[in-house]
Amino acid sequence: MLLKRAEKYGFCAGVRIADREVKKFAAAGGRGAILGQLVHNERVVSEMEELGVRTVESLDEVEGGTIVFSAHGVPPSFLHTARRRGLRVLDTTCPFVYDVHDDAERARQLGLHLVFIGDPEHREIQGYTRDLEPGTYHVLSALSEAEKVDWSQYPQGVRILYQTTLNAEEYEDVARAIESRAEATRTDTICYATKENQDAALRLAEDPEIDAILVIGGRHSANTRHLWETCSRLKPSYLVHGVEDIEGEWLEGVSGLGITAGASTPDYLVEEVEERVRTLASRAEGLTDGDRAGREDSRRVDTGENQSALSR
């Protein structure tokens, strides 16, 4: 089986720096807590806990020591709260995220209404909006949402900003709907590494040698999900979080398999997945025709039994 990785995949610069800084902190004997997942990958979270840096969901869970702010960033008030409580702060916020904070603040001071295109539940978006007055911004993720807003109530103008992990092209209709109804300007806030990963995933999916694609990433990783959505439009694509998720039947009839990974996926996970795929492919090649026929019969029997059980 041909295995081909995307030209760009895996850790972006911001995530790599965050990972390195926390490991350096732990190696120096530091102990503390990370507010939310350092990056959206369960293996990385487990690795950090083994190093003595646990993950917490609230500042209230930290009574002393060091608090780590993840690559996704936090509301500015969190920094003041942490310092007021006597906590040391290790800030690993991605520079691109800080750029969005800065641009949003400049636009707000100019009296512009802020529109963040992204997932309102995503920690990055919550970091931008938590400290803002409710009437000063919108968070939109669909055209229908943009069409419901009376944009005439913002004659001073609108500034559009994107969650850094999005594919801006997929939300072009949302931005254009706003621009057609309001005096609006955009800020290019898409992380270049995210865009490079997305473009490389698309090229991989378009490759005629590739029959199917594995996309590796964390369960809560937005950019990984976007990679999978991009690939699945063109080829059978499977989102996996690790080797335990890979199904051997996905590889049947596949002569070329593409592999890509989200910006929060460490290199060692990609290596593990590749090794697992090679093992499964080798086993499949070793099957005789009789073995294959027997396995197919067994699968049909199992399916029938499962269906009967469900009907009961």
Catalytic residue numbers, as ranges: 124
| Sheet order of strands, 256-261 included | 2-5, 256-261, 212-216, 237-240
d(CA 312, CA 306): 10
CB-count burial class (<10 Å; 0-12, 13-18, 19+) for 180: exposed
Beta bridge partners of 115: 138, 160
How is the chain split among helix, strand and coil, in percent rounded to 5? 50, 15, 35
Do the beta carbons of residue 261 and residue 224 sit within 8 Å?
A: yes
CA-wise closest residue to 164 among 187, 143, 184: 187
Do the beta carbons of residue 277 and residue 242 sit within 8 Å?
A: no
Which H or E run contains 127?
helix 123-129
Q: Which two tokens stand for residue 252?
A: 């049947």
Do the beta carbons of residue 194 and residue 230 sit within 8 Å?
A: no
CB-count burial class (<10 Å; 0-12, 13-18, 19+) for 67: buried
Beta bridge partners of 33: 54, 67
CA-wise closest residue to 240 among 216, 211, 261, 275: 216
d(CA 191, CA 261): 16
Do the beta carbons of residue 150 and residue 178 sit within 8 Å?
A: no
